[in-house]
């Protein structure tokens, strides 16, 4: 089996690579900066926004292509719209052009985002449907338009689309779970602390990175042609619950302080996915939120 990971150096890409290297798979991974990794892996320096860079891949044929490259911050995409669109839409178009011409028999796995649901107002578990209302952020827009591009251009190719919800892990930063945990850790020896939050009534759907990487392999192999899959726990979790769990693990008392600078009109109050389709294919979620937060805290404390 030969596999190509576009965007191997990011949070998901690095974890997925580590997971696959335990198996007998020939892996090529692209990244904007050279990285080194032991095992049956070759890294190719490639910028998805530069079409000429794909010349480096023309001699290869793959069984699977996993597309992970992205400008991945919804909030930062508001001020960096052109960059977000260039990477997320332009980069994907260059990749699809290469894919269709040089290795069209490969199965193409596009890792999208739950941000495609950011303008859905119903507080229900979102089902992985094709047609959705306009997104709020350039990031969400770019992800949804990329899905539509794949549907148009790859109708005769084997592809699937995956929409991950809130993927968390020790080295994942700049998201609400990481921010809450880091506030507890930064408090040091203090037993009574204040935790700054924006919208403390927000509800999210958290998945630990190890569960996602294992599930990504399952979907890579078993996902059905043109299938759209939510990768979610299906469990609605209030942001304040993160504080409850972290406080018990670290034996601290806390008071939530609402901070206006953390409140953004682009934020979606409810993002929870219906995961029935991935469960039917054999994906399992073994790490619950309490265990995930404990793993993250332990890792960060050990690296202080």
Q: Which residues pair with 107 in a beta bridge?
A: 64
Structural domains in the chain, CATH included, are 2-167+206-231 (3.40.50.720), 173-204+235-271+287-302 (3.90.25.10)
DSSP assignment, residue 168?
Answer: E
Which pLDDT does position 199 carry in this prediction?
85
Burial of 79 (0-12, 13-18, 19+ CB in 10 A): exposed
Task: State the CB neighbour count (10 A cutoff) for residue 267.
Answer: 17
Give the separation between CA 228 and CA 217, rounded to whole angstroms: 15
pTM as predicted = 0.96
Task: State the CB neighbour count (10 A cutoff) for residue 196.
Answer: 14
Which pLDDT does position 261 carry in this prediction?
74
Q: DSSP 3-state assignment of 100?
A: helix
Give the separation between CA 251 and CA 184, rounded to whole angstroms: 10
Q: Residues 21, 13: contact at Cβ < 8 Å?
A: no
Task: State the CB neighbour count (10 A cutoff) for residue 192.
Answer: 9
Give the separation between CA 216 and CA 205, rounded to whole angstroms: 17
Picking from 62, 45, 152, the residue whose alpha carbon sits closest to that of residue 98 is: 62
Q: Mean pLDDT, consecutive 10-residue segments, the chain of 304 residues?
A: 96 96 92 88 97 98 98 94 98 98 98 96 92 95 98 96 97 94 96 93 96 98 97 97 98 92 78 98 97 98 92
Listed in sequence order, the residues at least 6 apart from 91 whose beta carbon sits closer than 8 Å to its beta carbon are: 48, 49, 69
Alpha helices in the chain (DSSP H): 11-20, 74-79, 81-85, 91-102, 138-153, 176-186, 209-222, 239-250, 276-280, 289-302
Task: State the CB neighbour count (10 A cutoff) for residue 55.
Answer: 11
């Amino acid at each position: 089996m030969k596999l190509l990971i576009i965007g191997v150096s990011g949070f998901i890409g690095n974890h997925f690579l580590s997971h696959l290297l335990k198996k007998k798979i020939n892996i090529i991974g692209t990244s904007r900066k050279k990285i080194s990794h032991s095992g049956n892996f070759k890294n190719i320096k490639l910028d998805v926004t530069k079409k000429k860079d794909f010349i480096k891949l023309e001699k290869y044929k793959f069984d699977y292509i996993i597309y992970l490259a992205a400008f991945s911050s919804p909030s930062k995409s508001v001020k960096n719209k052109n960059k977000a669109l260039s990477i997320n839409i332009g980069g994907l178009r260059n990749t699809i052009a290469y894919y269709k011409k040089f290795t069209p028999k490969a199965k193409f796995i596009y890792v999208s985002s739950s941000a495609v649901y950011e303008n859905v107002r119903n507080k229900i578990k979102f089902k992985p449907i094709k047609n959705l209302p306009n997104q709020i952020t350039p990031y969400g827009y770019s992800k949804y338009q990329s899905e539509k591009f794949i549907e148009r251009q790859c109708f005769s190719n084997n592809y699937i689309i995956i929409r991950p919800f809130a993927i968390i892990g020790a080295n994942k930063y700049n998201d609400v779970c990481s921010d809450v945990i880091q506030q507890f850790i930064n408090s040091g020896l203090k037993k009574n602390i204040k935790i700054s939050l924006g919208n403390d009534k927000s509800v999210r759907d958290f998945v630990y990175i190890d569960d996602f990487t294992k599930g990504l392999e399952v979907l890579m192999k078993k996902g059905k042609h043109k299938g759209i899959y939510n990768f979610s726990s299906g469990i609605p979790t209030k942001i304040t619950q993160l504080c409850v769990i972290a406080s018990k693990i670290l034996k601290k008392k806390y008071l939530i302080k609402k901070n206006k600078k953390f409140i953004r009109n682009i934020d979606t109050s409810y993002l929870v996915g219906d995961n029935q389709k991935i469960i039917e294919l054999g994906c399992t979620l073994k790490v619950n939120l309490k265990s995930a937060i404990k793993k993250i805290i332990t890792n960060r404390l050990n690296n202080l």
